[in-house]
Amino acid sequence: MNTIIEILTEKVSNAFIICGYQDSFGSVTKSDRPDLCQFQCNGSFAAAKIYKKAPIIIANQVTQHLSCDPIFKTITVAGSGFINMELSDSFLLQYLDDLLSDPHLGIKQTNTQETIFLDYGGPNAAKPLHVGHLRSAIIGDALKRLAEVTGRKTISDIHLGDWGLQMGLVIAELEDRDNCGENMTISSHDWDTLYTIASQKSKENQQFLQRAREITAKFQKGDTKYLSLWQKVMKQSIKNIKETYRMLHVDFDLWNGESDAENYVPELIETLEKKHLLKESMGAKIVDVALPDDHAPIPPVIIKKSNGSNIYATTDLATIIARMKQYHPHEIWYIIDNRQSLYFTQIFRCARKAALISQDTALIHLCFGTMNGKDGKPYKTREGGVMKLSDFYQTVYEKVHERVSASAFSENTDKEMLSHKITNAAIKFGDLMNHRAKDYIFDLEKFTASEGKTGTFLLYTIARIHSLLKKADYDYERNKPVSIYTDTEKNLILLLALSNEKFELAYNEKAPNLICEQAYEIASAFSKFYSENHILTETNVSKKQTWIYLCNATKQILHKHLDVLGIEPVEFM
């Protein structure tokens, strides 16, 4: 299904050709003066230069040619050659109806067979998730959904940090506690403190640190005893991580980790050696990735440290080999914060240089900024410590629950379930409405308010529509609207009919904030329409039918927006 802009551009471009000009001048955009018209074409000005004619002459010819087309209510020339257009009501209503009948709600599906591989989440096992893990999960999940809604196949991988010293430290600490037997038990309180205690101990006690290092080397080399301990810790850790992500309704297709890359390290080294890319530098093995026209120095990638151990970069490169072999993705996206930008530049250059990926596979770092507190610094606990992700969720949940408890709901309302849904919407919308690369300030009051640009407002709008539709007895197939009665109604219809285009744009720009923006615009337009009209008590049957139809259309289209944002709608609020 073509978007309205495409339909208009095709029509106007054809008219340019028929009038003797190039079709490229016929490009149509949304009007930048919506008070004057809905759409515009400014091509006559560029055409005027080529064809040495006044723009108004060209605009008049093209307009005259299109004036009888039933798609337009009006098509006129304004100023010295702008073509202004307004769509006819019948076209708008028909278009909206076609969009609603389309299983994809008019969202263009890519015709390429693309697989997008997404790397997000990335927590380190053996440590509790903290607020710093929030954005990667929410943004990664929304980007995955955006890729799917535009017809792409996706695979997501959490890429756990599970192979480093942090695991050795935790195992050493468990040994000290004599908690390594068959029935190793780690309570959730223990989980929260285990790594911190072990890490503190390693700073004060050299022997402990040495032992943790040895343990790390042992499980990495496949030592039976320590590999089995490692597996036990991993099992518990994954269970914990899953529980926290479940609160946010975030999941992953693959729960792989750095450890899964281990088998591909020999192949990585071999490839780098064969291509003569590996160099010795102060006992370490490195790959140069600097380019002559770099504005800032790009340091080499260290593949093996002087003590022979593999590091973060080794794992990421080996993981690329694994992903290419197993999934042949067309693109690999890394949804990881801004601070790792230089690192990914190095990794991507090294992967290309060594041809670890095929020519047409793109490696993309989709970075994001920090969630800050009101002081403009990374969000912390009241005492200034690192805040656990589950505590953060709980803080928002309590605020929401307090508000829900104070509202009058019927007795059998599951207030907890409702509060969880609102909490999710508040957190996700509050995060995603900002461009991902920017920092933003988390403001509990603002994010949970039912007015303004919030997830709560969106849920509220949907709940309102739901309750109205429940009361309305309506046959959508038989009662298709034939006229538009008011301006607010037309404004809403236009927004709905243009909504499909944004999904493609948001995908191309990897910008879920565009979906937030549009969802808010639609919900606001709906609120206006709803408050201006008494829908259920309207006595003019045809008017009432149009309005109910429109309520349903708004609900369907808003649902699609929420779906992409990973927010579950509610039926009442």
The SS3 assignment for 247 reads helix
Nearer to ligand ARG, 150 or 244 (CB): 244
CB of 300 to ligand ARG, least distance (A): 18
CB of 336 to ligand ARG, least distance (A): 5
What does the H/E/C string look like for 323-344? Answer: HHHHHCCCEEEECCCHHHHHHH
Nearer to ligand ARG, 257 or 512 (CB): 257
513-532 helix and 499-509 helix, angle to the nearest 10 degrees: 160
Rounded CA Rg of the chain: 29
In order of 168, 213, 310, the CA distances from 306 in angstroms are 20, 15, 10
Nearer to ligand ARG, 135 or 560 (CB): 135
CB of 146 to ligand ARG, least distance (A): 20
Measured distance CA(416)–CA(425) in Å, rounded: 14
Q: Among residues 124, 216, 240, 546, which is the contact residue for ligand ARG, using CB under 6 A?
A: 124
Edge-to-edge strand ranges of the sheet holding 29-30: 29-30, 39-41, 82-87, 72-78
Nearer to ligand ARG, 252 or 503 (CB): 252
Nearer to ligand ARG, 392 or 529 (CB): 392
Quote the Cα angle for 148-393-133, to 5°: 60
What is the helix (H) or strand (E) element at residue 119, kind and residue range?
Answer: strand 115-119
**Near ligand ARG in 434-473, by CB under 6 A:** none
Q: Among residues 119, 173, 431, 489, which is the contact residue for ligand ARG, using CB under 6 A?
A: 119
Q: Among residues 43, 81, 106, 161, which is the contact residue for ligand ARG, using CB under 6 A?
A: 161
Nearer to ligand ARG, 62 or 158 (CB): 158
CB of 354 to ligand ARG, least distance (A): 17
Nearer to ligand ARG, 81 or 128 (CB): 128
Nearer to ligand ARG, 119 or 489 (CB): 119
Nearer to ligand ARG, 124 or 419 (CB): 124
Place of tokens 């509202």: 407
Return the structure tokens found at 119.
């790397």
Which segments of 330-385 does DSSP mark as H helices, in order? Answer: 341-353
Binding flags for ligand ARG, 323-342, as an x/- string (CB under 6 A): -----------x-x------
CB of 408 to ligand ARG, least distance (A): 45
Nearer to ligand ARG, 33 or 305 (CB): 305
Q: How many CB atoms lie within 10 A of CB 107?
A: 22
CB 525 within 8 A of CB 488: yes
Q: Among residues 260, 316, 489, 501, which is the contact residue for ligand ARG, using CB under 6 A?
A: 316
Return the structure tokens found at 188.
């959730």
Q: Which stretch binds ligand ARG (CB under 6 A): 118-126, 248-256, 349-357, 379-387?
A: 118-126
Nearer to ligand ARG, 26 or 161 (CB): 161
CB of 532 to ligand ARG, least distance (A): 49
Q: Backbone phi, then psi, for 228, in 5-degree steps? A: -70, -35
What residue type is 192 in one-letter code?
D
162 binds ligand ARG (CB under 6 A): no
**Near ligand ARG in 18-77, by CB under 6 A:** none
Q: Which stretch binds ligand ARG (CB under 6 A): 119-127, 320-328, 390-398, 487-495?
A: 119-127
- Distance, CA of 421 to chain centre: 18
Query: Which residues are paired to 130 by β-bridges?
Result: 388
Measured distance CA(29)–CA(17) in Å, rounded: 19
What residue type is 214 in one-letter code?
E
Nearer to ligand ARG, 324 or 495 (CB): 324
Nearer to ligand ARG, 66 or 336 (CB): 336
Q: What is the DSSP string of 511-569?
A: -THHHHHHHHHHHHHHHHHHHH--TTT---HHHHHHHHHHHHHHHHHHHHHHHHHT---
What residue type is 138 in one-letter code?
I
Q: Which stretch binds ligand ARG (CB under 6 A): 3-11, 117-125, 215-223, 447-455?
A: 117-125
Query: Which residues are paired to 301 by β-bridges?
Result: 287
CB of 100 to ligand ARG, least distance (A): 40
320 binds ligand ARG (CB under 6 A): no
**Near ligand ARG in 140-159, by CB under 6 A:** 159
Residue nearest to ligand ARG (CB): 122
What's the number of CA atoms in the CB half-sphere (13 Å) around residue 256?
A: 23
Q: Which stretch binds ligand ARG (CB under 6 A): 5-13, 89-97, 116-124, 265-273?
A: 116-124
Return the structure tokens found at 18.
């028929």
Q: Backbone phi, then psi, for 568, in 5-degree steps? A: -85, 135
Binding flags for ligand ARG, 70-109, as an x/- string (CB under 6 A): ----------------------------------------
Instruction: Give the number of residues in contact with ligand ARG, rule: CB under 6 A.
Output: 8
CB 93 within 8 A of CB 101: no
Nearest to 89 by CA among 440, 399, 490, 460: 490
Query: Could you list the residues that contact ligand ARG (CB under 6 A)?
Result: 119, 122, 124, 159, 161, 316, 334, 336
